[in-house]
Amino acid sequence: MAHINIFDTTLRDGEQSPGVNLNKLEKLEIAKQLERLGVNIMEAGFPASSQGDFEAVRAIAQTIKDSSVTGLARTIKSDIDAAWDALKDAEEPRLHTFLATSPIHMTYKLKKTPNEVMETAVEMVKYARKKFPLVEWSAEDASRSDLDFLVSVVTKVIDAGATVINLPDTVGYTTPEEYGYMFRYMKENVPNIDKVALSAHCHNDLGMAVANSIAAIENGATQIEGTINGIGERAGNAALEEIAVALAIRGDKYNHSTNLVLQEIKRTSDLVSKLTGMNVPGNKAVVGQNAFAHESGIHQDGVLKEASTYEIITPEMVGIKSNNLVLGKHSGRHAFKDKVEQLGYELSEDKMMEAFKAFKQLTDRKKEVTDDDLFVILMNLQTDAVNAPKYELKAFQVQYGSSNIPTATVALKTPEGIHVESAGTGQGSVEAIYNTVEALVQEEIHLTDYQLKSVGSGRDALAEAHVQMTVNGIQVSGRGAGQDVLEASAHAFLNGVNRVLFNQTHSKRKSVHV
């Protein structure tokens, strides 16, 4: 089988999803799981965009050993320099730089002639190769570019030292037939194409990102770019888990393979979903909660007799366990530590003790503790570990009755260490809490979305809340969990506020499109 390299951009393109804002610890946790998943290359971020992103990319580059770590840079020397400073300690540092090549982008966005675009691309690739052993150059909006101009610029960029050529469908406009033809055209007309790897990067605006990616593979692409769960700007990117499973299940058709450890797919999907606050739709291919559910009587009968009648993918193939009950009230510290390590987490002794204490407190209220419960404990621990001024929820109380106005009393500790307290009302209990917290934090806040779900099943399940909001005009998401839905809701609201406060201590983040 021909090998396909997997280039994961969850931490860069995926994080550009509206409202998603990962801190350094969260990005590092996802990076370590992507390494366990087996991605060949991970795009850790855009180092020049902010100090926070620079630090996160550097931390990932210094930590990850089994995957190549890359960072994005515009065709600007200062961007390339920042990327090198962040990535120079990586096992295999590489740069990803880009420049638009379509007439519409060159005319209206870049305001450059085709010759100017070509000169800039060549100059910056040459500059990048003085630092990086591996340089990927992307022709932004390649799918709407003139093919003969694309041949010319790609030929010159390869001569300048590019080692990977990426041909993105930046706005998700193309079709499988058109996208496949573009790769075939490059293979047939670029004289030095054999010196580079060809990469595909597809967006999902018309719902064809996975199909387009596979069409690229069929026509010479040896690297596929995408994200976990298909997250990303607008309608998102190609979902890597879908591509990997499609190649595995239909090996008879495609005869291509990847290095992905398929059993790590579900864990990776859950981690990305929880940390980004972007829930996976129930009908999502491969990882949706309904992907292996059968309600039709005919389907149920067939699956019971022979699973392959209606299941072309087994749950076990992608790491879905039928029973993840792990620990209970009488479990000791050693068993807890073993389970944490099995889940892929590395904690210092102090953090392990802190997590064990939280676990014991949970077992006093919850008889059975599952993998999902442990995940919540570990993620809460990670959120609290961010070393930055923040609001802390010290206490809250809600008075509510069918004939009374819901009233909340909330006590907070401010980033300056001052204890403040207030009371407020609302149409419901959650609104009463949010109105009171908003008055205490004195930021301009607009809540745009609120979601609540249970972690696991049963009446003693933990509650997990996700919010989308703008704080001082900045769009952000927040998450919180607790035994009580109101506690989870309060923590989610403050988590969103704290993320904006943290980011305000760093330079403003730039956004890019590839």
Q: What is the pLDDT of residues 313-363, one digit of tens each?
A: 988 999 987 655 567 777 888 888 888 888 777 888 888 998 899 888 888
Q: 290 falls in which pLDDT band (50, 70, 90)?
A: confident
Between 486 and 506, whose confidence is greater?
486
Domain assignment of residue 243, yes or no: yes
Residue after which a domain boundary falls, among 344, 362, 383: 383
What is the percent of the chain with per-residue pLDDT over 70, rounded to a whole number?
93
Q: Number of helices (H) and strands (E), helices first, in the chain?
A: 17, 18
Last residue of a domain, one of 276, 298, 315: 276
* Pair (160, 209) in one structural domain: yes
Residue 203 carries which DSSP code? B
Radius of gyration from C-alpha coordinates of the chain:
24
Helix H or strand E encompassing 479: strand 474-482
In a domain, 89, yes or no: yes
**Within a domain: 298:** no
Mean pLDDT, rounded, of the chain: 91
Q: Is 311 helix (H, G, I), strand (E, B) or coil?
A: coil
In terms of phi and psi (left: phi > 0; alpha: psi -120 to 50; beta: otherwise), the region of 376 is alpha
DSSP for 20-78 reads ----HHHHHHHHHHHHHHT-SEEEEE-GGG-HHHHHHHHHHHHH--SSEEEEEEESSHH
- How confident is the model over 65-94, as pLDDT tens digits? 999 999 999 999 999 999 999 999 999 999
How many CB atoms are located within 10 Å of the residue 47 CB?
27
- Contact indicator for 125, 137 with CB cutoff of 8 Å: yes
Among 41-50, 243-252, 293-302, 377-386, the range scoring the smallest mean pLDDT is 293-302
Say if residue 336 is in the same domain as residue 485: no
Q: Tell me the pLDDT tens digit for each residue of 366-392.
A: 777 878 788 888 877 766 555 678 899
**282 dihedral zone (left: phi>0; alpha: psi -120 to 50; beta):** alpha
Average pLDDT on 149-166 reads 98
Q: Residue 115: which residues within 8 A CB-CB, separation 6 or more?
A: none
Q: Which of 137-146, 183-192, 380-389 has the lowest mean pLDDT?
A: 380-389
**Cα–Cα distance list, 424 to 421, 433, 435, 437 (Å):** 10, 7, 6, 9
Burial of 6 from C-beta contacts in 10 A (0-12 / 13-18 / 19+): buried
* Residue 396 shares a structural domain with residue 367: no
442 and 338 both lie in a single domain: no
The Cα 293–Cα 178 span in angstroms is 35
**Domain shared by 152 and 260, yes or no:** yes
Note the pLDDT tens digit of each residue in 17-38: 887 888 898 999 999 999 999 9
Say what the pLDDT of residue 510 is: 64
The predicted model gives 28-51 an average pLDDT of 96
**Whether residue 267 is found in the same domain as residue 345:** no
Q: Residue 469: how many CB atoms within 10 A of its CB? A: 24
One domain for residues 250 and 197: yes
319 lies in some domain: no
Which pLDDT does position 322 carry in this prediction? 60
Asked if residue 281 is part of any domain, the answer here is no
Query: Do 480 and 356 share a structural domain?
Result: no
Q: Which residues, in sequence order, are CB contacts of 362 under 8 Å at separation 6+?
A: 369, 373, 377, 462, 483
As a whole number of angstroms, the distance between CA 212 and CA 224 comes to 10
Query: Are 113 and 190 contained in the same domain?
Result: yes
- Residue 305 pLDDT: 66
Is residue 315 included in any domain, yes or no? no
End position of a domain, from candidates 261, 276, 291: 276
* 216 closest CA partner among 175, 244, 172: 175
In terms of domains, do 7 and 153 share one?
yes
Q: Is 450 exposed, middle or buried (0-12, 13-18, 19+ CB in 10 A)?
A: middle
Contact of 13 with 43, CB cutoff 8 Å: yes
Residues 378 and 397 in one domain: no
Q: Is residue 180 part of a domain?
A: yes
Domains identified in the chain, total number: 3
pLDDT of residue 507: 47
Rounded average pLDDT over 115-130? 98
What is the CB-side half-sphere exposure of residue 373 using CA atoms within 13 A? 27
Residues 237-265 have pLDDT tens digits of 999 999 999 999 999 999 999 999 999 99
Domain span at residue 447 reads: 392-504
Query: Residue 274 burial (CB < 10 Å; 0-12/13-18/19+)?
Result: buried
Strand 2-3 vs strand 419-425: parallel, antiparallel, or unpaired? unpaired
Within this chain, do residues 262 and 128 fall inside the same structural domain, yes or no? yes
In a domain, 62, yes or no: yes
pLDDT tens digits, 192-235:
999 999 999 999 999 999 999 999 999 999 999 999 999 999 99
Average pLDDT of the segment spanning 159-166: 98
Residue 276 CB partners (closer than 8 Å, separation 6+): 14, 15, 17, 20, 22, 231, 477
Q: For residue 328, what pLDDT is reported?
A: 78
